[in-house]
């Protein structure tokens, strides 16, 4: 949802700004496509770098934990027992659980319960990069479609209206799925989307150039 919203807002704002500067239909489409591609690549690169750093940190943490288990298994067992006691088990049961899980897979147990690292939550940089780029591109394609199908003199208004409708729909769906207040989420996302488009439209109108 975040990537799609970003794609809608940034691309719609760019298109509206160019349209306000009296750009031709071709100029508007070129600017929009360039914004879509640049935005998707930027999202992919940023997400890849960020998640790669997370993956490096996880690898280093697992390396240290593996070393500590090899050098001082008793202390690690006591530490794991303490974690389970803090979660509500009595000490004897916590000790039994710690011993059983340690025998099964000591490193995986400490990774999950001490470090918060699990197989399902492991950082995957490439997957994250593709997901971010894809969601951004899908979001950006919506205002681009509206611009493509609209006469040049109506592009600014049509893209603004359609983009705000898309933002409201995504914001409402996201809030509904997450159990948050729908009206508040819709109002928030449409307000900031409208503000972004108004700002770029104002700049385009003021300077009369594609921005």
- pLDDT above 80: residue 7: yes
Residues 45 and 129 in one domain: yes
Residue 176, pLDDT > 60, answer yes
- Give the span between the Cα atoms of 146 and 163, in whole angstroms: 9
Helix, strand, coil percentages, rounded to 5, for the chain:
85, 0, 15
Tell me: the pLDDT tens digits for 18-29? 988 888 899 999
For residue range 132-173, list pLDDT tens digits in order: 999 999 999 999 999 999 999 999 999 999 999 999 998 888
Q: Which of 113, 145, 165 corresponds to the end of one domain?
A: 113
Inside any domain, residue 203: yes
pLDDT tens digits for 63-80?
Answer: 888 888 888 878 888 888
Among the three residues 113, 146, 162, which one is the final residue of a domain in this structure? 113
Cβ-in-10-Å burial (0-12, 13-18, 19+) of 151 comes to: exposed
User: Is 136 in the same domain as 202?
Assistant: yes
Q: Which two tokens stand for residue 193?
A: 């989307």
pLDDT at 121: 62
C-alpha distance from residue 93 to each of 89, 189, 193 (Å): 6, 49, 54
* C-beta neighbour count of 91 within 10 angstroms: 11
Do 159 and 174 belong together in one domain? yes
């Amino acid at each position: 949802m975040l990537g799609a919203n970003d794609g809608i807002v940034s691309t719609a704002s760019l298109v509206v700004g160019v349209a306000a500067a009296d750009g031709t239909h071709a100029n508007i489409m070129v600017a929009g496509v360039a914004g879509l591609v640049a935005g998707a690549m930027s999202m992919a690169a940023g997400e890849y770098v960020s998640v790669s750093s997370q993956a490096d940190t996880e690898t280093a943490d697992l390396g240290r934990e593996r070393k500590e288990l090899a050098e001082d298994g008793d202390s690690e067992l006591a530490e794991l027992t303490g974690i389970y006691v803090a979660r509500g088990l009595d000490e004897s049961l916590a000790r039994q659980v710690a011993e059983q899980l340690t025998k099964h897979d000591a490193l995986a147990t400490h990774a999950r319960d001490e470090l918060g690292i699990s197989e399902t939550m492991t950082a995957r940089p490439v997957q994250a990069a593709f997901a971010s780029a894809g969601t951004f591109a899908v979001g950006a394609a919506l205002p681009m479609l509206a611009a493509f199908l609209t006469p040049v003199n109506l592009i600014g208004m049509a893209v603004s209206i359609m983009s705000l409708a898309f933002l409201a729909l995504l914001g409402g769906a996201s809030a509904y799925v997450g159990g948050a207040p729908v009206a508040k989420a819709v109002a928030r996302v449409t307000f900031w989307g409208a503000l972004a488009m108004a700002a770029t439209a104002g700049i385009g109108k003021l300077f009369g150039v594609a921005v």
